Amino acid sequence: MSNLTKLEINALDITGNNYMTWAVGARMHLRGSGLLEIIDNTKTVSDEKKAKAMIFLRHHIHDGLKDEYITKEDPGDLWQSLKERFDHQKYVILPKAKHEWIHLRFQDYKSVSEFNSAMFGITSRMMLCGEKISDYDMIEKNKEVDIEYVRSCDNPADLFTKALPTTTFRKHVNGIGMRRLRDL
């Protein structure tokens, strides 16, 4: 029945693979609902607010996790238990994201938008793990373009941009599969 209603955020998977994004989304929703202090255990709050927070949290976790944590009646306790169980994900995600950042190269993508999407995905994961990435770092990453010299005899694009010696011209014509109509 709970799967029929629209979720504000994706439910926390039983494996915890989406814990980092789930926790950020849950905190934002609780903050927007005026319920954030409940999970932070900073103030004494009413039972009504605790019930609202608990309903939200239980509604946004996997059914298997609901069964495991059925005895948790306080939303702060549930939040802390989930954090203790899954917060280690950042220690798995961060090294992988750093590796991807180091090996991110503009020339590996077909378009600027694909590169930017990959770059922002990597930086978002790093920031979720507490790593600081500045705008300067991202700008510098964009400037990392390898420019390599390619001789005319190895560059088929020169076929269309400059006059070539006959042997080089014929090599490129054959290389790109261009044929004369009478030869077909």
The verdict on 163 and 130 lying in the same domain is no
Residues 6 and 79 in one domain: yes
Which residues does residue 61 pair with via DSSP β-bridges, in sequence order?
12
CB 99 within 8 A of CB 131: no
- Give the DSSP letter of residue 182: G
SS3 90: helix
Clarify whether residues 19 and 74 are in a common domain.
yes
Residue 95 in this model has a pLDDT that exceeds 60: yes
Asked if 59 and 24 sit in the same domain, the reply is yes
Of 43, 65, 86, the residue that ends a domain is 86
Q: How confident is the model at residue 4 (pLDDT cuts 50, 70, 90)?
A: very low
Q: Which domain holds residue 172?
A: 152-183
pLDDT, residue 131, reads 87
**Count of structural domains within the chain:** 3
Residues 5-31 pLDDT 10s = 566 788 999 988 888 889 989 999 999
Residues 133, 76 share a domain: no
147 inside domain = no
